[in-house]
Amino acid sequence: MSSSSPPSHPAPPASSSVGELDRRHFLATLSALGVGGGLFPGILWAQAAQEPEITEETIQAAEGLAGLSFSPQQRTMMLENLRNNRGAYRRMREEELSYDVPPALHFDPLPPGATIPSGPSLMRPSRPRDLPDPDDPVEVAYASLTELGALLRSGRLSSERLTRLYLDRLRRFGDDLECVVTLTEDLALEQAQRADRELAAGLVRGPLHGIPWGAKDLLATRGYPTTWGAAPYQDQALEHDATVVRRLDEAGAVLVAKLTLGALAMGDVWFGGQTRSPWDLERGSSGSSAGSAAAVVSGLVGFAIGSETLGSIISPAVRCGATGLRPTFGRVSRAGAMPLSWSMDKLGPLCRHAEDCALVLDGIQGPDNLDRTVRQVPFRWDGEAGLDGIRVGRLTGAFDADGPTGDLDRAVLEVLEGLGAELVEVGLPDDLPLGALRIILNAEAAASFDSLTRSGRDALMVRQEEGSWPNLFRSARMIPAVEYLQANRLRTILLGRLEQAWAGVDVLVAPPFAGSLLLATNLSGHPAVVARHGFEDSRNPGAITFVGGLWKDGEALAVAHAFQRATSHHLERPTRFS
């Protein structure tokens, strides 16, 4: 043992698009501007960038990349400024920037004029209807967090016994799924024994006390490697705990494994192979929270933590049939997590039940004085409440298709209506170039992994296709700073348009990948819960998404919880692991 697929991108421009320069001249032009070394994987930046003189011809060649055209006089006037800029780049690169240094710019998902919810928080879990037999290892492995908590607090099950059960399952099935990077056995047994002592003494830290969990291996964990799923970092040791890891330790949870992620949080391919779907070992689990989703659905951990930038919780939850929560941007600290996009990254739970996600969110949310994007916002959860007072909408046009999950999607609406929901039609803004805003993610990711590109160590990455990170990092160095900022200005408009469009609902129901919903809500920071709603066939779970308004994570979870209580799709288990 030791992500979702990226968007398609256009091919690099041919030499004819930059004034019929030959390829050698074109590459020399980029090198002259101080950005070309990343085009030569495996060659050190210092070797590739010989810094030839910046000339009017250099500027003319670069104009094609930005879609601009200047006059000869304008190019002459620009020369000194560009030479000074290149000197500034050189001086900045002399400063080593560790992964935990964010930009001095912070994304705020709150639209102008909107207010943050106030009032007290609430955590009132439901009472389990039936408890599993503590002597049945499979029933225990698949139990909900409320069921496990009840068994632990009653003394019918010890945390150490539960921890050894999950460690055994991780050893037995981890290689089949390729979902484990590192077992944290010594730490797990130490934490479990501490939990047993505390529970025996009547000290209950909360609903997660004594329950084993798995961490996506982009979370720093003291004493163990934090590999980010990528060969250049597979021996990396970060001698501190991510805030989420520390908070779960304080909640009494037991860390049993570091789980796989697609390399640098893309897809399901990591340096050790491809993580598999529990329903079909011939298929990948999708990603990038690949191991977290696969391990939860296979009953290898009580719950797991994943991350999402553009579908990395939603996509593997769909493929594997997990219940996943992408929280509101700014609710959970990313301190100690690998940064991919400072303005889009979110951390959240992958579980078997919606209520499990609520219990985990309650344990990890809130400011830590490290991640400056995080706010103190109340989170309210009552596991026995229904849908009273929650306004539910359906995404316009998203339920009309007759695709492989069309009937399953429409059946969700029938269940919700049977529970008393009055579904309101809600649309998405269709007058903004949302696809163009993907450059925000690419530019921020390229900045985060600047040293990887400039050193040439990106050649160590397993995937080297046009749409994989090494090439996207290099390509993103050609995104003008002006266009990055313009994209963020359009993002501000998006926030206002969504606030206006969804003003009449608290939760929006839609298929997970309907239209531009996934991209729009990751850009806007809205929370989303994905839950299994049936099967396309025996190897392919289907899923539905409940998108909450900003800071309405609890409402989105409540609708998902009500749906799961009225159905049993989430209770079905892959035969091989049960």
* Model confidence at 163: pLDDT above 90: yes
pLDDT value for 5: 37
Looking at the structure, do residues 77 and 179 belong to the same domain, yes or no? no
* Model confidence at 1: pLDDT above 90: no
Looking at the structure, do residues 145 and 278 belong to the same domain, yes or no? yes
Looking at the structure, do residues 168 and 228 belong to the same domain, yes or no? yes
Looking at the structure, do residues 206 and 91 belong to the same domain, yes or no? no
Looking at the structure, do residues 82 and 170 belong to the same domain, yes or no? no
Pairing of strands 212-216, 303-308: parallel
Tens-place pLDDT, residues 468-520: 999 999 999 999 999 999 999 999 999 999 999 999 999 999 999 999 999 99
> How are strands ordered across the β-sheet holding 528-537?
180-183, 254-259, 212-216, 303-308, 346-351, 323-326, 528-537, 540-548, 507-510, 392-395, 424-426
- Is 307 among the catalytic positions? no
- Is 216 among the catalytic positions? yes
Q: Is residue 453 included in any domain, yes or no?
A: no
Q: Is residue 463 included in any domain, yes or no?
A: no
Residue 318's domain comprises 122-432+488-577
Looking at the structure, do residues 214 and 82 belong to the same domain, yes or no? no
Looking at the structure, do residues 41 and 168 belong to the same domain, yes or no? no
Tell me, rounded to whole angstroms, the distance of Cα 453 from its chain centroid: 22
Catalytic residue among 158, 307, 312, 475: 312
Looking at the structure, do residues 200 and 306 belong to the same domain, yes or no? yes
pLDDT value for 402: 86
Catalytic residue among 4, 144, 158, 288: 288
pLDDT value for 33: 53
Looking at the structure, do residues 57 and 203 belong to the same domain, yes or no? no
**How many Å apart are CA 234 and CA 158, to the nearest integer?**
34
Peptide bond into 288 cis (omega under 30): yes
Rg (CA), the chain: 24
Q: Is residue 446 included in any domain, yes or no?
A: no
Looking at the structure, do residues 297 and 361 belong to the same domain, yes or no? yes
Q: CB of 294 within 8 A of CB of 320?
A: yes
Q: Is residue 254 included in any domain, yes or no?
A: yes
Task: Give the side-chain half-sphere CA count within 13 A for 433.
Answer: 10
| Band (24; pLDDT cuts 50, 70, 90) | very low
Q: Is residue 464 included in any domain, yes or no?
A: no
* Model confidence at 25: pLDDT above 80: no
**How many Å apart are CA 196 and CA 205, to the nearest integer?**
12
Nearest to 348 by CA among 399, 296, 284: 296
Q: How many CB atoms lie within 10 A of CB 24?
A: 9
Looking at the structure, do residues 188 and 251 belong to the same domain, yes or no? yes
Tens-place pLDDT, residues 392-417: 999 999 999 888 899 999 999 999 99
Looking at the structure, do residues 77 and 214 belong to the same domain, yes or no? no
Domains in the chain, number: 2
Share of the chain residues as helix, strand and coil, in percent rounded to the nearest 5: 40, 15, 45
* Model confidence at 141: pLDDT above 50: yes
Q: Is residue 35 included in any domain, yes or no?
A: yes
Mean of per-residue pLDDT scores for the chain: 92
Angle at 325 between CA 263 and CA 248, to 5 degrees: 80
Domain boundary among 60, 95, 130: 95
Catalytic residue among 31, 144, 159, 216: 216
| Band (465; pLDDT cuts 50, 70, 90) | very high
Please tell me what DSSP assigns to residue 369: S
The average pLDDT across 223-230 equals: 98
Residue % of the chain over a pLDDT of 70? 91
Q: Is residue 117 included in any domain, yes or no?
A: no
Tens-place pLDDT, residues 420-431: 999 999 999 989
Structure tokens at 364: 């990890």
pLDDT value for 41: 36
The average pLDDT across 351-374 equals: 98
Tens-place pLDDT, residues 3-18: 343 333 333 333 333 3
- Is 69 among the catalytic positions? no
* Model confidence at 364: pLDDT above 80: yes
| Band (43; pLDDT cuts 50, 70, 90) | very low
Tens-place pLDDT, residues 194-212: 999 999 999 999 999 999 9
CATH number, domain containing residue 402:
3.90.1300.10
Tens-place pLDDT, residues 234-250: 999 999 999 999 999 99
The average pLDDT across 120-147 equals: 97
